[in-house]
Amino acid sequence: MTARDRLDARDRLDARDRLETIFADVVRRNPGEAEFHQAVREVLDSVVPALTRHPEYADAKIIERICEPERQIIFRVPWEDDRGEVHINRGFRVEFNSALGPYKGGLRFHPSVYLGIVKFLGFEQLFKNALTGMPIGGGKGGSDFDPKGRSDREVMRFCQSFMTELYRHIGEYTDVPAGDIGVGGREIGYLFGQYKRVTNRYESGVLTGKGLTYGGAQVRREATGYGTVFFAEEMLRVTGDSFEGKRVVVSGSGNVAIYAIEKVRQLGGTVVACSDSSGYVHDDKGIDLDLLKDLKEVRRARIDEYVTHRRHASFVAGRSVWEVPCEVALPSATQNEIGAAEAAALIDGGCTIVVEGANMPTRPDAVRAFAEAGVRFGPGKAANAGGVAASALEMQQNASRDSWTFAHSEQRLREIMSDIHARCHTTAEEYGMPGNYVAGANIDGFRRVAEAMLAHGLI
């Protein structure tokens, strides 16, 4: 060990001690927010080498500032159902960090939503957005409203009430929400309509994921799923491999899952299973995408209906889709869906690569199990960045009153995903951890935010 190595090792120990103190403080200041703690822990564990090389980050307390959202907004959302009964939900917007641009990130409508989920998503979003190389900061929002089983008019009334409060906090140059779980094109339409009404402004760039008839962009709907598969394709390419002939399992059957399945099929793979929160369908001939789109995008049906149209397929209630053997796994439903047991099932089933379409779907123990088993792992904040990148392209088109073709937009998305992959790959090598995409993504995203924060002074 050289003197320089010894110095580095000591600096790393110092940095680790400092990070333990910072993490303990995050837990104390954000009690009970387990998902947020988990997301912070992962980033802190990764950035030790960057802190060692950049003592100026510690002097400016960059980590401490990054872990504290710039603004947290919580509000009441009263609305009336079709029978005239009044309901009260809670709305959130966490404006995490605007060092790189206006806050940018989706809205989630799901009964599990509380401040800790919104904070974890906002924190992830910050580094993800940095990785795109585009001028967007990090934010996230949502509500504990459950759109499942609600009529269109109920969803409309909820969205109108939600926006009647949210509108005063957002704007093209301030904070630009989009969709996430439970918020798709229908909800964005209602939210945009209400924003226009209460502000008396046609501000196209205030929301992304809009319909193509009123300022939406080609490929935004497909972007997260397609982007995840492009990222996986790049990972496969590094080892001279491709999707051709691969058996693939995708969890979920929402926006991200559907378009991941579409792109896998276009690249020669076969998706043999997908799921929703009731269970999974296994179709050895390959998931019938037209049927899935009709069930989920048009009729908002449950996944078990799939097997009434495809008799050879099976529906398995209440079990994990990860028990279906595959070579490639694309978790695209929700956070923490792969724990140690699911990871063991994937490894036993011959899986060699896991790429996250969802945000933080893999628990830390599962990430460790994959590393030990030699399963390659693409973290969501890099792999699913295609959605927010396409949102930034939508903002760009809105600002220039332009509208690009599908082919051009998809080509831009492919280039962006390829750049993100290269950045993660190169950064991991630069820091002596080749193949570690978690480290590569966290360090590169962190450095970009840290440099901008240093440049802005103490704010």
Ligand X SMILES: O=C(O)CCC(=O)C(=O)O
Catalytic residues: 140
Query: For ligand NDP, which residue of 151, 239, 242, 277 counts as binding (CB under 6 A)?
Result: 277
Shortest reach from residue 395's CB to ligand X, in Å: 9
Query: For ligand NDP, which residue of 46, 89, 204, 359 counts as binding (CB under 6 A)?
Result: 359
Q: In this structure, what token pair is assigned to residue 451?
A: 């440099």
How many angstroms separate the first and last alpha carbons of the chain?
41
Report yes or no: 370 and 348 within 8 Å, Cβ to Cβ. Answer: no
Report yes or no: 84 and 153 within 8 Å, Cβ to Cβ. Answer: no
Positions in the binding site for ligand X (CB under 6 A): 104-106, 125, 128, 178, 180, 208, 359, 387-388, 391
Query: For ligand NDP, which residue of 89, 270, 332, 442 counts as binding (CB under 6 A)?
Result: 332
Which residues have C-beta within 8 Å of that of residue 24, sequence separation ≥ 6?
A: none
Which of 385, 443, 394, 437 has its CA nearest to residue 415?
385
Query: For ligand NDP, which residue of 358, 366, 416, 417 counts as binding (CB under 6 A)?
Result: 358
| 208 scored as a contact of ligand NDP (CB under 6 A) | no
Give the contact letters, 162-191, x = binds to ligand NDP (CB under 6 A), - = no: -----------------xxxx-x-------
Positive or negative, the CA dihedral 37, 39, 44, 46 is positive
Shortest reach from residue 401's CB to ligand NDP, in Å: 24
Shortest reach from residue 377's CB to ligand NDP, in Å: 16
Give DSSP secondary structure letters for 126-144.
Answer: HHHHHHHTSS--EEEEEES
Q: In this structure, what token pair is assigned to residue 37?
A: 């703690």
Which one of ligand X, ligand NDP, none is in contact with 256 (Cβ closer than 5 to 8 A by kind)?
A: ligand NDP
Residue nearer to ligand X on the CB measure, 38 or 314:
38
By DSSP bridging, strand 71-80 and strand 86-97 are antiparallel
* CA within 13 Å, CB half, 444: 26
Phi, psi of 397, rounded to the nearest 5 degrees: -70, -40
Residue nearer to ligand NDP on the CB measure, 218 or 332:
332
CB nearest ligand X: which residue? Answer: 106
Shortest reach from residue 105's CB to ligand X, in Å: 5
Shortest reach from residue 343's CB to ligand X, in Å: 23
Interacting residues with ligand NDP between 4 and 43 (CB under 6 A): none
Residue nearer to ligand NDP on the CB measure, 97 or 334:
334
Shortest reach from residue 380's CB to ligand X, in Å: 8
Give the separation between CA 380 and CA 142, rounded to whole angstroms.
19
Which one of ligand X, ligand NDP, none is in contact with 105 (Cβ closer than 5 to 8 A by kind)?
A: ligand X
Q: Which amino acid is at 227?
A: G
| 242 scored as a contact of ligand NDP (CB under 6 A) | no
Residue nearer to ligand NDP on the CB measure, 208 or 270:
208
Which one of ligand X, ligand NDP, none is in contact with 277 (Cβ closer than 5 to 8 A by kind)?
A: ligand NDP
Q: In this structure, what token pair is assigned to residue 123?
A: 């924190």
| 255 scored as a contact of ligand NDP (CB under 6 A) | yes
Among the listed ranges 56-64, 276-284, 398-406, 423-431, the one in contact with ligand NDP (CB under 6 A) is 276-284
CB nearest ligand NDP: which residue? Answer: 254
Residue nearer to ligand X on the CB measure, 226 or 306:
226
Bridge partners (DSSP) of residue 76 are 90
Shortest reach from residue 144's CB to ligand NDP, in Å: 13
Give DSSP secondary structure letters for 109-173.
Answer: E-TT--HHHHHHHHHHHHHHHHHHTSS--EEEEEES---TT--HHHHHHHHHHHHHHHGGG-BTT
Bridge partners (DSSP) of residue 71 are 95
Residue nearer to ligand NDP on the CB measure, 224 or 362:
224
| 333 scored as a contact of ligand NDP (CB under 6 A) | yes
Which of 136, 70, 68 has its CA nearest to residue 103?
136
Which one of ligand NDP, ligand X, none is in contact with 37 (Cβ closer than 5 to 8 A by kind)?
A: none
Report yes or no: 287 and 261 within 8 Å, Cβ to Cβ. Answer: yes
| 387 scored as a contact of ligand NDP (CB under 6 A) | yes
Residue nearer to ligand NDP on the CB measure, 48 or 383:
383
Give the separation between CA 126 and CA 63, rounded to whole angstroms.
13
| 116 scored as a contact of ligand NDP (CB under 6 A) | no
DSSP class of residue 332?
-
Report yes or no: 91 and 166 within 8 Å, Cβ to Cβ. Answer: yes
Give the separation between CA 231 and CA 306, rounded to whole angstroms.
29
Give the separation between CA 422 and CA 313, rounded to whole angstroms.
39
Residue nearer to ligand X on the CB measure, 48 or 388:
388
Report yes or no: 187 and 109 within 8 Å, Cβ to Cβ. Answer: yes
**Interface residue list for ligand NDP (CB under 6 A):** 179-182, 184, 224, 252-257, 276-278, 332-334, 357-359, 384, 387
